A and B are shown apart, each in its own frame.
Chain A
């Protein structure tokens, strides 16, 4: 069971030496109980106490990682119910399901499309994580053929789906040396599945339609020696899935209930209607899934899901930023325009991408606005004439151009007067409000 803050306090040195960064041992104990710090932050705990505390400091949701040649997908290790309490750590893996009733050629085509899919969002390359192969045919031969077909195209981690241990064994033999996820163990087959998981070093998902059923299975499998477990609560609808995933996360975090302290797998592809699949997947991203198995791959739904996953798993304490400085876009020269913006990643990339894809050269001056968007920074006083002028001066922009003319984002047109005062020998121009309109503005007005 989890220890309370007071119980932890009694095990600490109680010297209030502050080496942990907290004013008192009690304050540190409270943080530890809330799982917001690591025990290692106190250098003075004795071995006895450490042993007693290690249980309490163990992650409430076990980290389970799937591996294949060169790839790894991690789930678990989460410590909060709400992202604002700290952050969510491991982005749920997105997998595409293939069934072995499809022909190997069909499988290869679908895998190739999803495997090669990449999309750039705020300068990051986003991609899907792997594939799930289901033994829908219920024959080892078809299952093996399907797995081979996938492996001819993609080396990403796999999820193997069958309730029949003999079929599962046939599949596992083909991915020796990897750590796939097996789905799944149920009340009838758990022993054989557990043995296979141990033998192949695979992770194993347990399937039951009640929490008690899931807990029963994980306890038995843990006794059997299988550690890397995943929960499949089989909820096919939003409401049930939200309730069950919340209950699982609460039990793990608040009660330190070990039998449900594992990542959850979701199957949005089981939705009645394809249009609901992306909605169920979005829900699974925000509400606690560790692995998400989709039936359909299409760029127009993969892209928003990947973006949502980035957003929800952004650390709320640290907005994603770029380094302030002068960025050269399309090899600018002395005649190229000077544009200013802020160092919030989303802002920077929306401007940089527009200019870059237009082929027009420009100098993009990124001011230190503490990682805020144009209007947010302006409202917070972090993007004003003084800061912009300072950036222009410290980055020696004047040395780079022959025409001293700088373009402001249209949303902060109000700054132009003050900026004229700050930069008397510069011409101040107000650009369009949205970055999409920048290329046309540069062509027509500069």
Chain B
């Protein structure tokens, strides 16, 4: 009884996006990281071996994030008060790339200045040779002001600037265009909205190989199923040949998982939730791995143990089994 394995052959290919630039390419990174390039659904190596593996990004901040779960502050310890030290430690923990998420305010409670944002970015670039993504605080005005300054000060490093949304993308895209950077484009869990934003950004002249799309996700228990299915649909559309969905996908399971009560709170929670630390890490890793299987190319994580586990899962997924 011989089963003929049904293999899909798709007309579309996911584009590749390369983050970082080495000295030879006009930057200072020790190496570059390329994502995308798949011609199959995730890890269907029996159809075609995927050219690039999913990547783990670690999120660090320009100042100690007091609202983060105590578990995170504890594990990063003193590193969390210095972006440079944090970058080094994140690299040691196994990050493939770093995400520097800028805060809305500085330690003095005043709005983060462009100078401070640039200083933090430069400190990170000096401390670690990994490719970098820089996210603004998430408020249009602050994002634009800080990201423009960062983009100019790091010309040629091919960092990814984020987060572009339909209400605010022009300034960020222009800064990326002028300084040789990439962008991340976030849309609220909808195939058509993702396409639309990619088109708008591309229309400004930014080549598609400099756009990562972030279809938004929810954490385990808080909407992951929507993110999961939208990513599967986006990847199917890409393989079917829909050009504006053929971008590598970045998602932020760390951010989502660590804002849930399950991860943030250790006391006065149901006994059935079990050990806090292991629960929180499992919350983050299961969210991340589930999204990787639905097509994520970059997952942004927060806990070093999650980084270790997710990396191991990626190694495992990228191993081409002999039996198939």
Task: State the 6 A-B residue pairs at the shortest beta-carbon distance, nearest first.
Answer: A300-B274, A299-B274, A240-B321, A119-B272, A300-B279, A238-B316
Instruction: Pull 23 A–B residue pairs with CB atoms less than 8 Å apart, ordered by A.
Output: A82-B232, A211-B3, A212-B1, A212-B3, A237-B319, A239-B318, A239-B320, A242-B317, A243-B44, A244-B321, A247-B3, A273-B312, A276-B309, A282-B290, A298-B275, A299-B279, A300-B278, A302-B274, A304-B286, A308-B220, A311-B220, A312-B290, A350-B261
Contact with A along B292-324 (1 / 0, CB 8 A): 011000000000000001001100111111011
| A237 contact from B236, B264, B294, B316, Cβ within 8 A | B316
Q: How far is the CB of A375 from chain B (nearest CB, A)?
A: 9
Kindly state the separation between the CA atoms of A209 and B85 in the bound complex, as whole angstroms: 48
Contact A251 B6 (CB under 8 A): yes
- Within residues 139 to 155 of chain A, which ones have a CB less than 8 A from any CB in chain B? none
Q: How far is the CA of A379 from the CA of B221 in the complex (A)?
A: 21
Do residues A278 and B285 form an inter-chain contact, with CB atoms below 8 A? Answer: yes
Whether B268 and A357, one on each chain, are in contact in the complex, defined by CB atoms closer than 8 angstroms, is yes
> CB of A188 within 8 A of chain B?
no
Q: Are A250 and B286 in contact (CB under 8 A)?
A: no
In chain A, positions 337-354 with a C-beta closer than 8 Å to chain B are 346, 350
Which of the segments A130-138, A161-169, A253-261 contacts the partner chain?
Answer: A253-261
Rounded to whole Å, the gap between the CB of A441 and the closest CB of chain B is: 16
Residue of A nearest to B284 (CB): A304
Partner of B46, one of A247, A302, A305: A247
Give the chain B neighbours of A273 by CB distance below 8 A.
312
Smallest CB gap from A278: residue in B:
B282
Q: Tell me if B283 counts as interface (CB < 8 A to partner A).
A: yes
Whether A237 lies near B5 (C-beta < 8 A) is no
Task: List chain B residues, Cβ under 8 A from A250.
Answer: 5-6
**Alpha-carbon gap, A120 to B220, bound state (A):** 15
B139 within 8 A of A: no
Chain A interface, DSSP helix/strand/loop, else mixed? helix
In angstroms, Cα B98 to Cα A39, docked, is 54
Interchain CB contact (< 8 A) of B321 among A243, A255, A373: A243
Known: A84-B232, A300-B279, A436-B265. A346 touches B223 (CB 8 A): yes
Given contacts A250-B6, A287-B293, contact A84 B1 (CB under 8 A): no
- Say whether B1 contacts A436, CB under 8 Å: no
Structural contact, A235 and B3, CB atoms closer than 8 A: no
The digit string for A169-210, where 1 denotes a CB below 8 A from any CB of B, is 000000000000000000000000000000000000000011
Is there an interface contact between A251 and B221, defined as CB atoms closer than 8 Å? Answer: no
Q: Are A286 and B293 in contact (CB under 8 A)?
A: yes
Q: B124 contacts the other chain (Cβ, under 8 Å)?
A: no
Count A-side interface residues using an 8 Å CB cutoff: 62
In the complex, per-residue mask of B194-238: 1 if CB is within 8 Å of any chain A CB, else 0: 000000000000000000000000001111110011001100100
Q: How far is the CB of B204 from chain A (nearest CB, A)?
A: 25
| B108 at interface, CB cutoff 8 A | no
Cα A5 to Cα B289 in complex, Å, equals: 37
Let me know if B313 and A276 touch, CB within 8 A: yes
Is B286's CB under 8 angstroms from A278's CB?
A: yes
Neighbouring B residues of A350 by C-beta, 8 Å: 261
B270 at interface by CB-CB < 8 Å: yes
> How many B residues are at the interface, by size bracket?
35 or more
- Asked if A298 meets B229 with Cβ closer than 8 Å, knowing A250-B6, A286-B293, the reply is no
Contacts of B278 in A (CB 8 A): 298, 300-301
> Does any Cβ of A come within 8 Å of B106's Cβ?
no
Count of inter-chain pairs, beta carbons less than 8 A: 168
Q: Using a CB–CB distance below 8 Å, which chain A residues touch chain B?
A: 82-84, 117-121, 209-212, 215-216, 219, 235, 237-240, 242-244, 246-247, 250-251, 254-255, 257, 259-260, 273, 275-276, 278-279, 282-283, 286-287, 298-305, 307-308, 311-312, 314, 316, 346, 350, 357, 373, 379, 434, 436
Report the minimum CB–CB distance from B114 to chain A (whole Å). 28
In the assembled complex, the Cα of A246 lies from the Cα of B312 at a distance in Å of 21
Q: Which of A210, A239, A302 contacts B319 (CB 8 A)?
A: A239
Distance in Å: Cβ of A100 to nearest Cβ of chain B: 27
List chain B residues, Cβ under 8 A from A83.
225, 228-229, 232
Nearest residue in A to B272 (C-beta to C-beta)? A119
- Which residues of chain B are near A314, meaning CB under 8 Å? 225
Cβ 8 A contact of A316, one of B229, B293, B321: B229
Q: A84-B233, A209-B323, A247-B324 are in contact. Are A215 and B275 (CB under 8 A)?
A: no
- Known contacts A259-B3, A301-B282, A304-B220; A243/B268 CB under 8 A: no
Contact A257 B3 (CB under 8 A): yes
B66 at the interface (CB under 8 A from A): no
Check if B63 is an interface residue, CB within 8 A of chain A. Answer: no
Bound together, the chains give a CA A406 to CA B2 distance in angstroms of: 67
Select one of B271, B283, B323 contacting A299, CB under 8 A: B271
Contact across chains for A303 and B3 when beta carbons are under 8 A apart:
no
How far is B224's CA from A373's CA once the two chains are assembled, in angstroms?
13
Contact partner, A235, options B264, B275, B309, B321, Cβ 8 Å = B321
- Alpha-carbon separation in the docked complex, A209 to B322 (Å): 11
User: Contact string, B256-281, partner A, CB cutoff 8 A, digits 1/0?
Assistant: 00010110110010111111101100
Give Cα A210 to B321, complex, Å.
12
Using Cβ atoms and an 8 Å threshold, which residues of chain A touch B265? 436
What residues of A have a CB within 8 angstroms of the CB of B6 in the complex? 247, 250-251, 254-255
Contact of A279 among B223, B264, B285, B294 (CB under 8 A): B285
